Structures are given as C-alpha cells and as structure tokens.
A and B are shown apart, each in its own frame.
Chain A
Amino acid sequence: MVPLSWYLLLAAALFSIGLYGILARRNLVMILMSLELLLNAVNINLIAFSRYLEEGQTIGRVFALFVYVIAAAETALGLAIMIAVWRTHQTVAVDEIDALKG
C-alpha cells in the first residue's frame, strides 16, 4: 500500500489550492467550488486516517458521510443565494456585493 503520509500530503496540497481559490477569485461560484475542494481534502484525510489507523474502519467513513451532507447543503444554499444575488445585483463578484441593505 501507499504510505499514509502520501495521502496526507495530497490532501494538504488540495486544501491549499482550494484556499488559494477562495482568497483569489471574485466570482461567487468559483469560491463555492473552491470550498468543495477544501471539503474533499478533509474527506481524503478522514478516510485515509480511518483506513490506516482505525480498528473498526467505520467511524472515519461515518464522519466523511456527514461531511457529504453538509457539503450538499452548503452547495444548495450557496447556489440559491447566488441566484438571488444575480437577480437583484446582476453580478456575482464578491467585491461588488458590499451593501447590507436588502
């Protein structure tokens, strides 16, 4: 098998790429997609730890499944907010959406 550290390094790289996407992009959709990269990196870590270090092999997968649920909820809400913002502002650039009034 591949050593566990390879998976951890891969997840760290994926996490950093997603972090760059969140910080550097202006488009709301790009930020949401970068967030998905972060969640995927976390899931790789959870499942790799569960596979290599856990006796029962289940708890890591259960946590990863809950991460899936949260990710799906976050995507649905994020895209709904994006559509609503697009209707009112005609833009999805996060630095142009700076009014708190509805």
Chain B
Amino acid sequence: MGFDVSFGFEQIAFLLTAALTLAAALAMVFSRQVFHAILLMIAVFVGVATFYVLLGVSFMAGMQLFIYVGGVSVLAVIAIMVTRGFMGSDRPRPARTTYGAAIVAGSVFIGLAWLILRVPWPTVPLVAASENDLALLGQVLVSRAGFVVPFELSSLLLFVVLLGALYIARER
C-alpha cells in the first residue's frame, strides 16, 4: 500500500500542501463569485507548483508559475475585466444537476482511488534526483530521435491559436 512511511518533513509538507490545494480547489468550484474563484484557482496553481518542488523537479515548478500563475491567470483576469458587468455572481444550476455532478465526480474519485490502492506503487524514486538535467531535457525536446516534430508543431499551434483568438474576439 505504501502508507507505512515515517513522518518526516517531506510527508508533513506534502499533507499540508495537499490539504491547502484541495481546499482551495473545492472552494473554487463552489464559489459564487467568479472573481473569488479566479483567485482560488491561482492558489491551486501555486499549490501544484509546490508539489513539483517536493518532487524535486523545480524546472516544472518554474514553468507552472510562469505559464499558469503568470499567463493563464492574467489572461483570465483581463478577459473578465474586459467583459463588464460579468464579475457578478453565478446563478446556481438546479439542485438535480448539482447532485448528479457530485455523484459522478464522487464515483470517479472512488473508482480511481480503488484502482490506485490496489497497485503496490514504489515508495522511493527509481533514481536519485539529478541536480541539473535541463540540458538533457532540451536535447530530448529538439532532437530528431526525440520530440522535435511535436515541439515545432506546438509552436505552430500556439501561433494559429493566438491569431484565431484575436479573430474571434475582435470588435465587429
């Protein structure tokens, strides 16, 4: 099962961060005010970045902060400021839909947790975290044996998406 671990600094840090992140996520999906939900979403993103630090992949933590906290959140805030009169509260759905959604989400979680707990996952990583393997990551990303085609395609995708977003959102 993997629960017979001693509680050191890392375990306590993980549990604290997990509690904060999940509480922020729950508060986000239940929040009536859209603006509050955005602030809570930023809290969730920072929490996820903390998990990357705990995992020892600080590059991904930096990317998480850059892209999500710095990019996606600012985009969301600006888009909402642009559409005036929209920051107000969200009228709730009928209770039937909410209960249905809660049942679906709860059963997905229970099913996933059941599957996860059936497998004897490792409790320690296969190899020790390397201090600086960014060069390796970059080589994998742009080598022909690695991921150069999806890498270039993703830049094309971003270009097309930004043009498309400008076209869709333009003043008519």
Binding site for B on A (CB under 8 A): 1-10, 12-27, 29-30, 32-34, 36-37, 40, 43-44, 47-48, 50-59, 61-62, 64-66, 68-73, 75-77, 79-84, 86-87, 92-93, 95
Give how many A-B residue pairs fall within 8 Å (CB-CB).
241
Chain B residues within an 8 Å CB radius of A27 = 34, 90
Known interface pairs A5-B2, A75-B76; A68-B63 also in contact (CB < 8 Å): yes
- Size range of the chain B interface in the assembly: 35 or more
Contact B3 A3 (CB under 8 A): yes
Cα A23 to Cα B146 with chains together (Å): 37
Ordered by A's residue number, 18 sampled pairs between the chains whose C-beta atoms are within 8 Å are A3-B5, A4-B122, A5-B121, A8-B121, A14-B21, A14-B44, A16-B105, A19-B101, A21-B28, A30-B37, A37-B41, A51-B129, A54-B126, A57-B133, A71-B67, A77-B164, A82-B79, A95-B93
Cα A15 to Cα B141 with chains together (Å): 27
Chain A residues within an 8 Å CB radius of B116 = 5, 8-9, 12
Contact B55 A47 (CB under 8 A): yes
